Amino acid sequence: MSVKYVPVQWNNNKWGYDAVLIALVVAYVVIFIRIGTPAAELARPLDNAIVRMRAFGTCALWMLTFILCIGPLARLDKRFLPVLYNRRHFGVLTTVVAFTHAMYVLGWYFSFTSQTPLTALLSSATGFGQILGFPIEILGLCALVLLAVLSATSHDFWLTFLSAPVWKTLHLLIYPAYALVVAHVALGYFQDSKNPVFGTLFVTSALLVAGLHLAAYLKERKINASDVDWVKACKPQDIQDKRAAIVPLSKDERVAIFRTGTSFSAVSNACAHQGGPLGEGKIVFGCVTCPWHGFSYKARNGRSPAPFTEMIPTYNMKLEDGFLFIDRKANQPGTDVEPIIFEVTQDA
């Protein structure tokens, strides 16, 4: 439970996560340069710098698409939760890849002007009144600025300094950034390429992002639409031992049901430290442990072990017809609740 801020609190999971991401980026760029470009049907021949430009540009597009898919996928299926953890690292690497793409653009198209490349880009953007020929570079530049802001404020210091509500609202800028990227790529594609393969992949990816968000919204809306005091959560055997199931009660409220052997307890999904997702953590030494910074709580009363004093709300539960139900009304933080006991004979 450190209160000291360090650039990155590395552990084996983070090292592995970042190593896989970097390896995939390198593999994509290499494959694109060696295989993808020669197979494309383009309106004009490509210089090597343009090939690299497009390799990094399309890589950033697919990375941003996947980032926006992680959240709804995790809400639809808990098996995607491991991918959700350290998603901020994914976002920072995406910004680096997008920045590399932008550097190739400036270096290729604006190197020989008397002005600085960025000034030349901004001053040459004049065709705002048309669709074909619209200065797509401005769209990409605006998206890159938004991604840079998100990356620069991704550290936990900003989460504490700005407060969790403000920080989360700020990071909703990922959606206008994605819209700008979609417009940037779409207009550029229609102006230059005749190959339908990329266009098909591009449209499919954009529809996938929209479709997954809609599916997650409809699922949670169905749960939230109930007026009853008790919310149907899941079967006890659906929860892995030492882990949790996250259940939405409303738009802004989620509960984590933790299992310890045959005991089941429900606590708020938000850590008292910085609002970390407790349900994505696990039981360590008998305590619910936040995956962000390791703050711990007893599952039955939501209290941190001595000498720490943090507390989180608990929830009453009941077992009916083989399902766990959660009382919508939260108990006061630190309230002791008798766990539900259920003998799990076979894990789902």
Domain carrying residue 203: 12-222
**Average confidence score pLDDT of the chain:** 84
Assess whether 251 and 192 both reside in one domain: no
Q: Is 332 exposed, middle or buried (0-12, 13-18, 19+ CB in 10 A)?
A: exposed
36 three-class SS: helix
Provide the Cα torsion 65, 70, 73, 74; round to 10°: -170
pLDDT of residue 69: 93
Structural domain contains residue 7: no
Residues with Cβ within 8 Å of 76's Cβ and at least 6 positions away in sequence, in order, are 212, 215, 216, 219
Q: Are 76 and 216 in contact (CB under 8 A)?
A: yes
Q: Which residues pair with 135 in a beta bridge?
A: none
18-46 residue pLDDT tens:
899 999 999 999 998 887 655 554 545 55
Cα–Cα distance measured from residue 228 to residue 8, given in angstroms and rounded to the nearest whole number = 44
Q: Enumerate the H helices of the chain as residue ranges.
A: 12-31, 37-39, 48-76, 81-84, 87-109, 117-124, 136-152, 156-162, 164-170, 174-192, 196-224
The structure tokens listed for 68 are 């926006």
pTM above 0.85, yes or no: no
- The domain total for the chain is 2
Angle, alpha carbons 218-151-182 (nearest 5°): 55
pLDDT of residue 196: 77
pLDDT of residue 148: 95
- Positions in the chain whose pLDDT score sits under 70: 1-11, 36-47, 85, 132, 190-195, 222-228, 345-348
Assess whether 250 and 275 both reside in one domain: yes
CA distances to 182, 259, 261, 340 from 282, in Å: 37, 9, 13, 18
Final residue before a domain boundary, out of 222, 256, 287: 222
The structure tokens listed for 121 are 């880009």
185-241 residue pLDDT tens:
888 876 666 667 778 888 899 999 999 999 988 877 766 555 568 888 999 999 999
Assess whether 51 and 196 both reside in one domain: yes
HSE toward the beta carbon, residue 155, CA cutoff 13 A:
12
Assess whether 289 and 325 both reside in one domain: yes
Assess whether 156 and 278 both reside in one domain: no
Assess whether 164 and 311 both reside in one domain: no
pLDDT of residue 348: 43
Q: What is the DSSP letter of 252?
A: S
CATH of the domain at 288: 2.102.10.10
pLDDT of residue 3: 46
User: Contacts from 76-79 at CB under 8 Å and sequence distance 24+?
Assistant: 76/212, 76/215, 76/216, 76/219, 78/245, 78/246
The structure tokens listed for 258 are 């933790």
